[in-house]
């Protein structure tokens, strides 16, 4: 019965979701080209708010657990497991004071209204996963921007999303590069639960009544650890809190 109901609600969701992307694309363009970075950042943040509201049509709920105070005047590296594209708007919204920027595959830099524009112009980095040399160089350049602006770099070390919630082994080369390039950053391990259920039937229909949970773990100073050891600690903290 729930899956049957999911069909008409999914149509409504996709119409609203697509409308939001289409509306915010020219808004972003105007803010970026006429008003500057601050205005563009505000437009991106409100884009995420409305993308989250579109999922409410499916009965989606969000909870964000972060009892820790993180200074906004320092660079941050947010490390998270990855379950679906619905991980991204809440990260941008809940961590908005830290100006989150993503390490994304280059394919996402074109063809998606609003999303691709922000990835190309908002300070994130697009990497070619088939070209490790280009990827590392791009992450190094990205790290400098994060360092200079006290932004938050967001990385999903699994490399690709989990389709059933089971975490994939972390590929730590990109994370270790960030640590090497931004040694005074704070690492925030972040566990995401249940967003994979949005796509439990595939892209259509959508899952209904999903409670997507975000749990931030205690921030860690890079300077207090060996980088290889820290990467393992972060992976353990994240994966042990995944609900299967």
Mean pLDDT by 10 residues, the chain (244 residues): 92 98 98 97 98 98 94 95 96 97 92 96 91 90 96 93 89 94 96 97 95 97 93 97 92
Could you tell me which of 190, 191, 203 has the C-alpha nearest to residue 165? 191
Burial class (CB in 10 A: 0-12, 13-18, 19+), 83: buried
Could you tell me which of 186, 193, 196 has the C-alpha nearest to residue 98? 186
Residue with tokens 């640590």: 179
What is each CA distance from 49 to 65, 80, 194, 214, 228, in whole angstroms?
Answer: 18, 20, 19, 16, 36
* Tokens describing residue 232: 């393992």
Alpha carbon distance 138, 135 (integer Å): 5
What pTM, to 2 d.p., does this model score?
0.94
* Sign of torsion over alpha carbons 195, 198, 199, 200: positive
* Sign of torsion over alpha carbons 223, 225, 227, 231: negative
Residue with tokens 């437009």: 43
- Return the pLDDT at 155: 96
Structural domain 2-240, CATH architecture = 3-Layer(aba) Sandwich (3.40)
- In angstroms, how far apart are the furthest CA atoms of the chain? 53
**Residue 167 near residue 180, CB atoms below 8 Å:** no
**Residue 131 near residue 138, CB atoms below 8 Å:** no
* Chain Cα centroid distance, residue 129: 17
* CA angle (206, 207, 210) in 5-degree steps: 135
Alpha carbon distance 25, 2 (integer Å): 33
- Return the pLDDT at 89: 97
- Return the pLDDT at 244: 82
- Return the pLDDT at 2: 87
- Return the pLDDT at 130: 83
- Return the pLDDT at 15: 98
- Return the pLDDT at 120: 96
Helix ranges, the chain (H)? 2-30, 37-56, 88-94, 115-121, 132-149, 173-181, 227-240
- Return the pLDDT at 163: 86
- State residue 58 phi and psi, 5-degree precision: -95, 5
């Amino acid at each position: 019965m729930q899956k049957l109901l999911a069909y008409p609600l999914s149509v409504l969701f996709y119409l609203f979701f697509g409308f939001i992307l289409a509306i915010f694309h020219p808004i972003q363009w105007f803010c970026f080209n006429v008003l500057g970075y601050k205005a563009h950042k505000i437009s991106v943040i409100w884009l995420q708010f409305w993308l989250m509201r579109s999922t409410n049509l499916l009965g989606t709920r969000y909870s964000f657990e972060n009892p820790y105070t993180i200074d906004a005047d320092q660079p941050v590296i947010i490390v998270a497991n990855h379950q679906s594209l619905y991980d991204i708007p809440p990260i941008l919204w809940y961590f908005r004071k830290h100006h989150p920027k993503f390490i994304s595959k280059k394919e996402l830099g074109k063809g998606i209204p609003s999303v691709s524009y922000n990835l190309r112009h908002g300070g994130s980095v697009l990497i070619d996963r088939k070209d490790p040399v280009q990827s590392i160089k791009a992450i190094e350049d990205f790290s400098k921007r994060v360092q200079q602006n006290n932004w938050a770099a967001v990385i999903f070390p699994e490399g690709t999303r989990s389709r059933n919630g089971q975490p994939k082994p972390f590929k730590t080369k990109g994370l270790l590069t960030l640590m090497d390039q931004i040694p005074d950053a704070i690492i925030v391990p972040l566990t995401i639960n249940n967003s994979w259920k949005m796509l439990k039937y595939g892209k259509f229909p959508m899952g209904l009544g999903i409670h997507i949970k975000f749990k931030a773990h205690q921030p860690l100073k890079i300077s207090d650890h060996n980088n290889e050891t820290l990467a393992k600690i972060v992976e353990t903290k994240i994966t042990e809190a995944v609900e299967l």
